[in-house]
Amino acid sequence: GVVRNVVLAPVDLTNPDLTIFVEVREDDTYIFHEKIKGPGGLPLGTQGKVVVLLSSGIDSPVAAYLMMKRGCEVVALHCNNDPFSGPKVTENFNLLVDQLNIYAKGTPIKRRVIDYGEYLTVAKEKAPEKMTCVLCKSGMYRIAEKLALKLGADAIVDGSSVGQVASQTLSNILATRYGVDMPILSPLIGLDKEEITEIAKKIGTFEISKIDDGGCSAVPRYPETRADLERVKKACEDMNQDVEIEKAFENIRKLD
């Protein structure tokens, strides 16, 4: 008879050298060996619309991205603080929206800008100087709410993180939201700068946010860090905030 050498190939089903996947659909079959993880989340626009207070900093673009990941259509509201800030701030805002729009195929981000310098001027002249940042954020929330109601959005989003900067103490965060009925969502509230920066680098906004835009010269030397509601209400009355918000909102415009 004929003697043959038989070589048995061992099979290790627990730790294979290569795993082959087969996905059978109604009309096609796909064979593949690698799964590449995407951003995950929900389809954009399926969870309603939000107005995001988007600056040229690191935090707010990340907040916008996280809401997009959860299926929210974004309207980006930019407050132009001229003469307290320069044109680079608006340029960087547009660059950031362009970058975020990579993740917004089919539902691009709408851009709105508002001239906010006059509001800040009145705040600095009529109210205690240390309250400028508190009044600034308070006014932004109220303007964002008016825009949200106009565009049919369901919530306001910002990049607040507790203790991130002097003006983002918990007492300040709470006090600045006085008078706003719409939900204000802060997806970064419990993250530190390192965690936020890691996401910004991953989505491509970090290098844009790092570009020097000159900052805001309206920031007082000693900003209020522990604002209580009564003092905030008094400062709002001192500057006649309702009137100034109406004046600012009249000049809101598209950048699309």
Cα separation of 220 and 188, whole Å? 25
104 with 203: CB under 8 angstroms?
no
**End-to-end Cα spacing for the chain:** 85
> What share of the chain has pLDDT > 70, as a percent?
96
pLDDT of the residue at 2: 64
Cα–chain center distance at 101: 13
Structure letter (DSSP) for residue 20 = -
Is the pTM here over 0.85, yes or no?
yes
Structure letter (DSSP) for residue 74 = E
pLDDT of the residue at 26: 87
Is 135 a residue whose pLDDT tops 70? yes
Cα separation of 10 and 163, whole Å? 59
Confidence of residue 195 (pLDDT cuts 50, 70, 90): very high
Is 167 a residue whose pLDDT tops 90? no
For 11-81, strand residue ranges (E) read 21-24, 29-32, 49-53, 73-80
20 burial via Cβ count (<10 Å: 0-12, 13-18, 19+): exposed
Summarised one tens digit per residue, pLDDT across range 23-79 is 999 889 999 999 888 888 999 999 999 999 999 999 999 999 999 999 999 999 999
Beta bridge partner(s), residue 114: 79
**3-state secondary structure at position 178:** coil
Beta bridge partner(s), residue 155: 50
What is the number of helices (H) and of strands (E) in the chain?
9, 8
Confidence of residue 3 (pLDDT cuts 50, 70, 90): low
Q: Could you tell me which residue, 146 or 4, shows the higher pLDDT? A: 146
- Preceding peptide of 83 cis, ω within 30°: yes
pLDDT of the residue at 256: 67
**The tokens of 81 are what?**
């603080």
Is 4 a residue whose pLDDT tops 80? no
Q: What is the mean pLDDT of the chain?
A: 92
Cα–chain center distance at 132: 22
pLDDT of the residue at 244: 96
Q: Could you tell me which residue, 37 or 144, shows the higher pLDDT? A: 144
100 with 54: CB under 8 angstroms?
no
Question: What are the Cα distances from residue 17, in Å, to 13, 20, 144, 246?
Answer: 9, 10, 55, 67
pLDDT of the residue at 28: 93
Q: What are phi and psi of 143, to 5 degrees?
A: -70, -40
Tell me the average pLDDT across 129-141. Answer: 95
CATH 3.30.1540.20, applies to 49-254: no
pLDDT of the residue at 200: 98
Is 246 a residue whose pLDDT tops 80? yes
Longest dimension (CA), the chain: 109
H or E segment to which residue 156 belongs: strand 155-157
Tell me the average pLDDT across 165-194. Answer: 91
Tell me the average pLDDT across 221-241. Answer: 92
Tell me the average pLDDT across 160-170. Answer: 83
Tell me the average pLDDT across 206-213. Answer: 94
Is 1 a residue whose pLDDT tops 70? no
pLDDT of the residue at 143: 97
